[in-house]
Structure 1
Amino acid sequence: MTWEVLSIIGTVAFAISGAIVAMEEEYDLLGVYILGIVTAFGGGAIRNLLIGVPVSALWEQGMLFHVALFAMTIVYLFPHKTLIHWKRWGNFFDALGLSAFAIQGALYAVKMNHPLSAVIVAAVLTGSGGGIIRDVLAGRKPLVLRAEIYAVWAIVAGLAVGTGLADSPIRLYMLFIVVAVLRILSYTYKWKLPNRSLQKETSENM
């Protein structure tokens, strides 16, 4: 039940996130649906490739595809004035998707008896893979590659699941809330990882 709920939350959140980005970039209706679907299912496809699950397993998630299409349609049909305010919610839905899919990916790897390292990789790829593909298709710098903290929270989710700290439905839901809140706080207060700019150093030395 926990697995299914997390799958639905992640699918809806990332589908809406992809649709909002597509509308921000002024994509047409087909572009909105394609970007939303890629965001919702791209991370799972990459994860399946790396941990040995047939990519065709994605096509068995017919119900989730319908859920994603329904969510994107609702967002697309919102009045224009309302959508202007919805833009600020893009990061919020992205945070929910990251948290839900990171935990789901980690659970998937644990279920297949993979080691902790594979559990963490599965969490990161499932949580951020769809967002990376979305940003690349939208011509943006992927969030996960910026100084802004993003994939770290997926690693936290993978560690918690892989080490058994989140081993019950209640703890998994608590982990979902914690990871989502940490992600929201990180972009609200602009928490950043250390970074080094070669361009800046080069200009200073010239």
Structure 2
Amino acid sequence: MESAIWGVLSIIGTIAFAISGALVAIEEDFDILGIFTLGFLTAFGGGTIRNLLIGLPMKALWSQQLEFYVTLVVILLLILFPNLVFKHWQKAELWTDALGLAAFSIQGALHAENLNQPLSAVIVAAILTGAGGGVVRDVLAGRKPIILRSEIYAGWAILAALLIYYNIVTTDLGYFVLVIGITCLRMYGYWKNWHLPKVSWIEREKQDD
């Protein structure tokens, strides 16, 4: 049985990624249909990819009526009242992406854990659910996906998976705190320009050129 926090995490992640996708679409000068399309695909992309890989039927996606309505309203409000975020749209884009990553990573890890999956599956579910929507968004917007950059990104999803798999975080309050913690760590890593190690011989060749 899914935790009671499941639905809350779903709403938080859906809102955050819907805003993130819509902001990227507006930044890339998409039309109104493109804004709605990218917003929806960002909000539901990660969960859809996860469900397909673990064998859940497509009806699991179509049953998310509340999330669909929430996404529709959020994107519509963003289009009608752009001043709500556009004064600080860059920060809004970063914060919503970080929040969506946190909420959906935890949700994905919980889903795999409730199915009694091994650690590897819990980690994959956390990464796909947390970062999948962002990958879809970036690819459709013609950007290099954040998860493939040197910035620490998928690492935060892995951290969430480990904390859940080893029962370090087990309560609804703990999941809320973890959402806040992962979001803040993601933003702190961005501000501090944290990077994973690169392949040294590639760096040397670039310098020689």
* Pair 1:197–1:75, CA change in 2 (3 A): farther
1:186 counterpart = 2:189: yes
What is the distance in 2 between the residues matched to 1:81 and 1:169?
30
What is the distance in 1 between the residues matched to 2:69 and 2:184?
28
The superposition leaves residues 39-86 of structure 1 with CA deviations (integer Å, 9 ceiling, x where unpaired) of: 000000111112221233100001100001111111111246952422
What RMSD, in angstroms, separates the aligned Cα atoms of the two structures?
A: 1.7
The 3-state SS of whatever aligns with 2:88 is helix
User: Is 1:51–1:118's contact at 8 Å kept on the other side of the alignment?
Assistant: no
Instruction: Decide which of 67, 87, 91 is 1:88's aligned counterpart.
Output: 91
* Pair 1:188–1:46, CA change in 2 (3 A): same
1:144 counterpart = 2:147: yes
1:17 counterpart = 2:23: no
User: Is 1:15–1:36's contact at 8 Å kept on the other side of the alignment?
Assistant: yes
What is the distance in 1 between the residues matched to 2:206 and 2:162?
40
Instruction: Decide which of 116, 134, 137 is 1:134's aligned counterpart.
Output: 137
One-letter code aligned to 2:198: N
* Pair 1:132–1:197, CA change in 2 (3 A): farther
Unaligned runs of 5+ in 2: none
2:71 corresponds to: 68
2:174 corresponds to: 171
Instruction: Decide which of 2, 5, 17 is 2:8's aligned counterpart.
Output: 5
What is the distance in 1 between the residues matched to 2:186 and 2:136?
19
The superposition leaves residues 83-142 of structure 1 with CA deviations (integer Å, 9 ceiling, x where unpaired) of: 242232101000000000000001111111111110111000000000001000000010
Q: TM-score w.r.t. structure 2 length?
A: 0.93
Count, aligned residues: 206
What is the distance in 2 between the residues matched to 1:136 and 1:185?
25
One-letter code aligned to 1:144: I
* Pair 1:28–1:198, CA change in 2 (3 A): farther
2:51 corresponds to: 48
| Paired-residue identity, % | 52
* Pair 1:26–1:46, CA change in 2 (3 A): same
1:105 counterpart = 2:74: no
What is the distance in 2 between the residues matched to 1:82 and 1:104?
26
Instruction: Give how far 1:196 is off.
Output: 3.0
One-letter code aligned to 1:96: L
Q: TM-score w.r.t. structure 1 length?
A: 0.94
User: Is 1:12–1:40's contact at 8 Å kept on the other side of the alignment?
Assistant: yes
What is the distance in 2 between the residues matched to 1:87 and 1:147?
20
Unaligned runs of 5+ in 1: none
